[in-house]
Chains A and B, each alone.
Chain A
Amino acid sequence: MKAPRPAAPAAVRVRNVRAGDLEDVAAIDLEITRLPKPGYWAEIYRRYGSGRRQQRFFLVAEAAGRIEGFVIGEVRDWEFGSPRCGWVFAINVRPKARLAGIGSRLLEAVCDGFRRLGVTKVRTMLARDNQLILSFFRSQGLMAAPFIPLEIDLDPAGTERA
């Protein structure tokens, strides 16, 4: 049996998320990350998808009545010392719907939202071993930003640091 072909980009509609989409969004995330996140998506919807959403975007790609992908981003001012810019902090497409331009459509849509707010720079941050998404953003023209993410493992509370 042949796998169904991914929807053509023209058949895909990108729109604001609705409460009824959350189950699909969480299912896409679970399929990709294999990590259930109870409560997380409801909280993200509360912060990015409902009410007055100044500078915040939570968009979904819908094809034939089914949610095939989503993108979440927001405009942040002076974060990390940087002038106002758009941050994309989540983008995912259902694995079987990939290679049909849905990711590109979602990224374009969130960038259009940023543009409407006067933003001219878009950033994201990725795990460096996440080759799939890293390659996707590269193919969309994103280049290395003038920032270096740093981290440290914290000793448990109550232990003295060497």
Chain B
Amino acid sequence: MKLQKNTLFALYSVLESASRPERQLSAGEIARKYGISPHHLAKVLHTLAQAGVVESVRGVGGGYRFAGNAKRLTLIDVIALFENINAPARGTRPRPRRHSAGPGVERAIGTVLSEIDAMAEATLRSISIATLLKLAVRQRRQT
């Protein structure tokens, strides 16, 4: 499974802010840490703020602060702000044809691809931001 850049940047931002919810982080800080464009990240943070996942803090030392519930907010909640999770990825579904020679084949392939989508969605829906933060801590310890 491949996430779009904006979605990945959003997940970085959410995880960074949720790991230190008392702190305000600027787009620049997050961008430097992950080597991404601050301009691009600012747009992503704006979307997250509109959705109430982060809140924008104005003034000197302002930035963004986590505003969600890390135990309740799941990966799919964040991903759905940037991608249509129910839409099949381009090229992964046979195109329906008016006079198809093999509707059974197309349907069979579609069934298998739907299985994959369902598994991916269940996984993303089951992992909260708090769980992902714990996983990140465990993986840091292992490296």
**Which residues of A are in contact with B by a Cβ distance under 8 Å?**
128-129, 131, 134-135, 138-139, 141, 144
Contacts and interface: CB of A to CB of B under 8 A. Distances in A.
Contacts of B119: 128
Interface stretch (B17-25, B94-102, B106-114, B127-135): B127-135
B69 interface: no
What is the interface of chain B mostly: helix, strand, loop, or mixed?
helix
Contact of B122 (A129, A139, A141): A129
Nearest to A135: B126
A152 B130 CA distance: 36
Given A135-B127, A139-B71, A139-B131, 4 more contacts: A135-B126, A135-B128, A138-B128, A139-B134
A138 B127 contact: yes
Contacts, number: 28
A148 to B, nearest CB: 9
B134 to A, nearest CB: 7
B138 A141 contact: yes
A141 B128 contact: no
Size category, B interface: 10 to 19
Contacts of A129: 122
Contacts of A135: 74, 126-128, 131
A144 B135 CA distance: 13
B139 to A, nearest CB: 11
A134 B119 CA distance: 12
What is the interface of chain A mostly: helix, strand, loop, or mixed?
helix
B123 A144 contact: yes
A128 B138 contact: no
B136 interface: no
B118 interface: yes
A128 B118 CA distance: 8
B138 A131 contact: no
A135 B76 CA distance: 12
B93 interface: no
Contacts of A131: 122, 125-126
Interface in B56-81: 71, 74
A138 B118 contact: no
Contacts of A134: 122, 125-126
B135 A141 contact: yes
B122 to A, nearest CB: 4
A133 to B, nearest CB: 9
26 contacts: A128-B118, A128-B119, A128-B122, A129-B122, A131-B122, A131-B125, A131-B126, A134-B122, A134-B125, A135-B74, A135-B126, A135-B127, A135-B128, A135-B131, A138-B126, A138-B127, A138-B128, A139-B71, A139-B128, A139-B130, A139-B131, A139-B134, A141-B134, A141-B135, A141-B138, A144-B123
